[in-house]
Amino acid sequence: MKILITGCAGFIGYHLTVSLLSKKNKIYGIDNLNNYYSVKLKKDRLKNIEDRAKNNKFFFKFKKIDISDFRKLNIFFQKNKFDVVVNLAAQAGIRFSIKKPSQYLKSNVIGFFNLIDLSKNYKIKNFIYASTSSVYGMKNKMPFKENINTDFPLQFYAATKKSNEVIAHSYSSLFNLPTIGLRFFTVYGPWGRPDMAYFKFTKKIINREFIEVYNYGKHSRDFTYIDDVVNSLKIIIKKGFLNKNRNKDNIPYLIYNLGNNLPLKLKNLIKYLETYLKIKSKKKYLSLQDGDVLDTRSNSKKIIRDYNLKFKIKPKKGLENFVKWFKKYHKIR
Ligand X SMILES: NC(=O)c1ccc[n+]([C@@H]2O[C@H](COP(=O)([O-])OP(=O)(O)OC[C@H]3O[C@@H](n4cnc5c(N)ncnc54)[C@H](O)[C@@H]3O)[C@@H](O)[C@H]2O)c1
Q: Which residues are catalytic?
A: 157
Q: Which residues contact 235 (CB under 8 A, 6 or more apart)?
A: 307, 308, 309
Cβ atoms of 104 and 91 closer than 8 Å: yes
What is the rounded distance in angstroms from the CA atom of residue 2 to the CA atom of residue 80?
A: 8
Q: What is the largest CA-CA distance in the chain?
A: 57
> CB of residue 118 vs ligand X: minimum separation in angstroms?
13
Closest contact distance (angstroms) between CB of 270 and ligand X is 18
Q: Which position's Cβ is nearest ligand X?
A: 10
* For ligand X, the closer CB: 102 or 287: 102
Of 49 and 88, which has the nearer Cβ to ligand X? Answer: 88
Binding site for ligand X (CB under 6 A): 7, 9-13, 31-34, 42, 66-68, 88-92, 107, 111, 130, 132, 184, 186-187, 193
Q: Which of 109, 94, 244, 102 is nearest to 167 (CA)?
A: 109
b vs e for 194-230, b when ≥16 Cβ sit within 10 Å of the residue's Cβ? eebbbbebbebbbeeeebebbbebebbbbbbbbbbbb
Query: How many Å apart are CA 257 and CA 180, to the nearest integer?
Result: 11
123 contacts: CB under 8 Å, gap ≥ 6: none
Residue 195 Cβ, how far from ligand X at the closest point, in Å? 8
Distance (Å, whole) CA 211 – CA 260? 26
* CA-based R_g, the chain, Å: 19
How far is 51 from 60, CA to CA, in rounded Å? Answer: 10
What's the closest the beta carbon of residue 66 comes to ligand X, in angstroms?
4
Helices and strands, counts by H and E, the chain? 12, 13
CB of 45 to ligand X, least distance (A): 8
Shorter beta-carbon distance to ligand X: residue 88 or 303: 88
CB 160 → ligand X: shortest distance, Å? 9
